Amino acid sequence: MIISTSDSARTERAILAWSLAGLAAFAVLPWRALDYGLFDALPSELWDAVGWRVADWLPWLPTVVLAVLAVRPWRAAAPALAYRIDAALGGAAILALLAGAKIWGVPLGLAAAIQITALGAIAALAAARLGYVQGDGFMTGSILLIAGLIAAFILFPLSTILIRVVVDFKTGEFTPFRFFEIVMSPGFGRALWNSLVLAIAVAVSTTILGLVFALYATRATARFRGLIRIFSILPIITPPFVVGLALILIFGRSGTINDGLLALFGSGGLLVPEGGSGWFQRSGYIYGFWGIFLAQTLAFTPVSYLVLHGLFGTISPSLEEASLTMRASDWQTLRHVTFPLLRPGIANAFLLSVIESLADFGNPLILGGDYDVLSTEIYFSIVGARLDYARAGALGLTLLAVSLAIFVIQNRWIGRKSYVTVTGKGGGGHLMPLPSWMQNSCGVVVYAWIAFTAVLYGSIFMGGLVANWGADYTPTFTHHAELWAAGLNYGGWPSYLNTLKLALIAAPLTAVLGILIAYVTTRKRFVGRGLVDFGAMLSFAIPGTVMGVSYILAFNVPPIQLTGTALILVVSFIFRNMPVGIRTGVSALSQIDKSLEEASLTQRAGSLRTIISVVLPLLRPAIISASVYSFIRAMTAFSAVIFLVTAQTNVATTYILARVERGNYGVAVAYGSVLILTMLIVSMLIDHFVGRSRVQRRVALAGGNA
C-alpha cells in the first residue's frame, strides 16, 4: 500500500501536536477533579490537583503513553504497521485510564479529559490513515468523540441503574431476582397500570384534537394561521408544570370554579334557599387522573397537531381531485382517500403522545394526588428519607423499557409505512374544503380550546398580580417584588440567572452535537454506526426522571465525578435535548443535496474544510433554530434536573416547585409568567432576526434541482 508521503507527514505532525497538548495539560492543569468544581476552587487546591503533584501513579499512565507517541520509536516501520500501533496504543491507554480511575476511585479532572481527548484524536488520525471512514481524519475523530460521549453520558449511566438493581449496594452481592421482587412489591403494578391508562387516554384525546386542529388549519380559513403559530409555540415555552398550576388556580380546591359553584350552590349561596345547607362543598376533584389528563392533553395536543399538520401538507391535492372526479362526495373522499392516507401519521401522533405522557413528571407531581404513575414513583423512591435506589432503578428500567418499545414501534414500523411520497411536482390543484357540518364542528372545538387556553394563561399572569388567588383578589405587586426587588442574591434572581447562564452554555453545544450526530449517521458509512444510531435512539426515548436517577448513580463516584456541580446540569441539558438537534439536523440535511459535499471533496477540500465552507453556511438556519429550541428546553427543564440540583445550583423550575410545595402559588405563578415572557421574547426576537434568509431559499432551490 502506497501512502502518499505529504499526507503521512501531515498526520505525523498532528499526532505530535496532540501528544504535546496532552503533556502540557499534565504539566499545568488540575488532573484530579476538584471538590468544589473548577471555578470555585482555591488556587492552592488547583495547584495540588495538577498531575505530577498528585501522589498517585495513575496520572503518569496516559502521560507516559503520550510521551511515547510524541517520539514514535516505530516511525521507521511500514506505515500500515506504525499507524496500527498508534491507534491501538491510543485506544488501550484510554480504556486503561478509565478502568484504573474506576477501580482506585480517582475522580478525573480537566487535564485528564484533555489527555483522553488527545489519545482519542491520535487513535482517530491513525485509524483514518488505515482507511477508516474513507480515510478522513476529522470525520474519524468526530465519530470517535460522538461514540465516546454517547457511551459516557447515555449508555454508562443507564448501565449503572441496571447494576444497582441486580447488585446489592452495601454487600456487593449479586441479586438477580431483586428486580422481580420490586416489581411484585405493593404499588409497583398500580403505578405501571396507572401510567399506561393515563398515557393511552391522553394519546387518544391529543390525537383527535390534533387532527381537528390540522383539518381546520389546512382547509378552513387563513385567518386562523396567526393564532395557530402562537398556539403551537406556547406549550413549548411553558415550563412543564405551569399548565398544571393554572389548572389548580381554576379548578383547585380554592379555585375559581369551586368558588363560583360555592357562591351559587354552597352553604349560603345565591341559589340556595335561605338557611339551606347548600348542595356543594369544596372539592379536590382536579387532583388525580382527570387533572393530569387535562394538563397533559393541553400540553401535548400541539405536538400531535404539528405531526399531523406536516403530513397534511404532503398529501397531493390531485388524489382528492381524482376521487371527486369519480363522483365521490366530499365526505366519501375524506373517508376513503384522505383519512387512509393519514393513518400512519395518526398512529405516529398517537405513539408520540404516549411517550410524552409516560415521561411527563411535572404535571403528575403537582396534580397527581394519590394517582401514582411511574415517573412520580421514581422520584418518591429516592426523595427524603426513603432513598431506595434499587426501587427507583427498577421503576426507571420499566419506564424506559416501555417508552423504548413504543419508540421502536413508532420509528421502525410506522416510519416505514408511510404512503406519502413527495414527488416535487407541486403547484397543481387545491385541497378540498371540509363538508360544512364538519367545518362547523371543528370550528367549535378549536375556538373552545383557544378560549380555554387563553383563560389558563390569563390566570397564570393574573395569579401573580393578585394578593391570594381564591381568597383575596386585590391587585398587588408583592409577589413580583419578593422575587425581583430584593437584589440579585435574593428571591428569584439567583435561580433565574443560573438557569439563563447554564441554558446559554448548553444550547449551542446541544445544537452542534445533535447536528454532528445527524450528519455522521445520515451521511457517512462507518464501522460502529449501529452504536451511534442506538445511542441517539435511546436519547429520544429516555424519560427525564430515568436520566436524572441514572446521572446521580453514575456521576457521584469516580471516574467521572460531577454530582453537585453546575457541569452536571449542563451535561444533562445537552444529552436530554440532543434529540432536538438531531431532528433539526436530519431534516435540514435532507434538504441539502449530498453531491454538494462530494463536489467540495473532489475539489481537494478535506472534510473539515467542507463542513466549514459548504455544510455550515447551508445549515446556519438549522443551527440557530436548534440552539433556540435547546435553550428554551433547557430553561424549562425539570424532570431530570430535579435530581441533580443543589442549593448552589438551583434552577428556575425547581425554585418554582419549592414555592408550590410551600403552598406559595402567587409567587410560583409570578415566576412562571416571567419565565414564559422571557422565552416568548427570546424566540420572537430570533424568529424576527433570522427568518427565512436568502441562503435558505437557495438551499430549497438546490434541493429541488437534485
Using alpha carbons, list the distances in angstroms from residue 527 to 46, 134, 368, 532, 538.
Answer: 40, 11, 46, 10, 19
The one-letter code for the residue type at 692 is: R
Residue number with CB closer to another protein (136 or 356): 136
Separation of CA 73 from chain center: 47
> Would you say 176 or 691 has its CB closer to another protein?
691
601 lies in the site for another protein, by CB under 8 A: yes
Regarding 135 and contact with another protein (CB under 8 A), the answer is: yes
Are the C-beta atoms of residues 11 and 108 closer than 8 Å to each other?
A: no
The 10 Å CB-count burial string (b at 16+, else e) for 387-421 is eebbbbbbbbbbbbebbbebbeebeeebeeeeeee
* Closer residue to another protein (CB): 124 or 670: 124
Rounded least distance, CB 599 to another protein, Å: 4
List the interface residues with another protein, window 7-26 (CB under 8 A). Answer: 7
Scan residues 95-134 and list those touching another protein (CB under 8 A): 129-131, 134
- Burial string for 548-572 (b: 16+ CB within 10 Å, else e) reads bbbbbbbbeebbbbbbbbbbbbbbb
Nearer to another protein, 56 or 533 (CB): 533
Question: Is the Cβ–Cβ distance between 553 and 643 less than 8 Å?
Answer: no
Please report how close the Cβ of residue 103 comes to another protein at its closest, in angstroms: 38
Identify the residue among 35, 40, 181, 598 touching another protein (CB under 8 A). Answer: 598
DSSP labels for 410-459? IIIIIHH-------S------PPPPPHHHHHHHHHHHHHHHHHHHHHHHH
Grid cell for residue 697: 431559499
In the bound state with another protein, the residue whose beta carbon lies nearer, of 587 and 603, is: 603
Could you tell me the three cell numbers for 393? 432503578
Q: Say whether residue 4 binds another protein (CB under 8 A).
A: yes
436 binds another protein (CB under 8 A): no
Residues 48 and 71: their CA atoms lie apart, in Å, by 29
* CA atoms of 460 and 669, how far apart (whole Å): 6
The Cα 250–Cα 470 span in angstroms is: 9
Q: Which of 45, 48, 56, 593 binds another protein (CB under 8 A)?
A: 593
Closest approach of Cβ 20 to another protein, in Å? 25
Report DSSP state, residue 136.
-
Structure letter (DSSP) for residue 490: S
Q: Does residue 431 touch another protein according to CB under 8 A?
A: no
Between residues 134 and 522, which has the closer beta carbon with respect to another protein?
A: 134
Name the minimum Å distance from CB 133 to another protein.
Answer: 9
Name the DSSP letter for residue 525: -
Residue 138 or 629: the one with the smaller Cβ distance to another protein is 138
Calpha distance 150→154 (Å, rounded): 5
What part of residues 681-700 is at the interface with another protein (CB under 8 A)? Answer: 695, 697-699
- State the Cα–Cα distance between residues 665 and 668, nearest whole angstrom: 5
Given candidates 474, 595, 646, 648, which one binds another protein under the rule CB under 8 A?
Answer: 595
Q: Closest separation between CB of residue 126 and another protein, Å?
A: 13
Is residue 522 near another protein by the rule CB under 8 A?
Answer: no
Closer by beta carbon to another protein, 138 or else 241: 138
Helices 79-104 and 60-71 sit at what angle, rounded to 10 degrees? Answer: 170
| Nearest residue (CB) to another protein, 95 versus 616 | 616
Q: Please give the residues from 602 up to 621 whose contact with another protein meets the rule CB under 8 A.
A: 602-607, 609, 613-614, 617-618
CB of 603 to another protein, least distance (A): 4
**Omega prior to 176 cis, within 30 of 0:** no
Q: Which is nearer to another protein, 253 or 524 (CB)?
A: 524
* Contact of 526 with 520, CB cutoff 8 Å: yes
DSSP secondary structure string for all residues of 609-676: HHIIIIIHHHHHHHHHHHHHHHHHHHHT--TTGGGT--STT--HHHHHHHHHHTT-HHHHHHHHHHHH
| 328 contacts another protein (rule: CB under 8 A) | no
**How many residues touch another protein (CB under 8 A)?**
37
DSSP 33: P
User: Cβ of residue 426: shortest distance to another protein, in angstroms?
Assistant: 18
Among 88, 136, 272, 646, the residue binding another protein under the rule CB under 8 A is 136
Neighbour tally for 698: CB within 10 Å:
11
Q: Specify the residue, 277 or 595, whose C-beta has the smaller distance to another protein.
A: 595
Output 2 or 76, the one with its CB closest to another protein: 2
> Which of 600, 627, 636, 649 forms a contact with another protein (CB under 8 A)?
600
What's the min distance (Å) between Cβ of 512 and another protein? 19
Q: With respect to another protein, which residue has the nearer C-beta, 11 or 160? A: 11
As beta bridge partners, residue 30 has: 50
- Least Å distance, CB 585 to another protein, is 18
Q: How far is the CB of 87 from another protein (least distance, A)?
A: 14
For another protein, the closer CB: 389 or 519: 519
Q: How far apart are CA 499 and CA 485, in angstroms?
A: 19
Q: Least distance in Å: CB of 130 to another protein?
A: 7
- Indicate the residue type of 526: F
Interaction between residue 329 and another protein (CB under 8 A): no
Please tell me the chain's helix, strand, coil percentages from 3-state DSSP, rounded to the nearest 5.
70, 0, 25
For residues 120 and 93, the answer to whether their CB atoms sit within 8 Å is: no
Q: Quick check: 401 binds another protein (CB under 8 A)?
A: no
443 forms part of the interface with another protein (CB under 8 A) = no
Minimum CB–partner distance for residue 131 and another protein (Å):
4
Q: If binding is defined by CB under 8 A, does position 596 make contact with another protein?
A: yes
Measured from the CB of residue 128, what is the shortest distance to another protein in angstroms? 8
Q: Cell for 324?
A: 371527486
- CB 142, min distance to another protein, A: 14
Q: Judged by CB under 8 A, which stretch of 332-340, 499-507, 573-581, 588-596 contacts another protein?
A: 588-596
Q: Is 423 in the site for another protein (CB under 8 A)?
A: no
Residue 294 or 619: which CB sits closer to another protein?
619
To another protein, the closest distance from the beta carbon of 699 in angstroms equals 6
Taking the complex as a whole, how short is the minimal distance between the CB of residue 525 and another protein, in angstroms? 8
Q: Which grid cell is 262?
A: 360555592
E-strand stretches of 52-208: none
- 3-state class of 473 per DSSP? strand
67-86 positions binding another protein, by CB under 8 A? none
Binding site for another protein (CB under 8 A): 1-4, 7, 129-131, 134-136, 593, 595-596, 598-607, 609, 613-614, 617-618, 695, 697-699, 701-702, 705-706
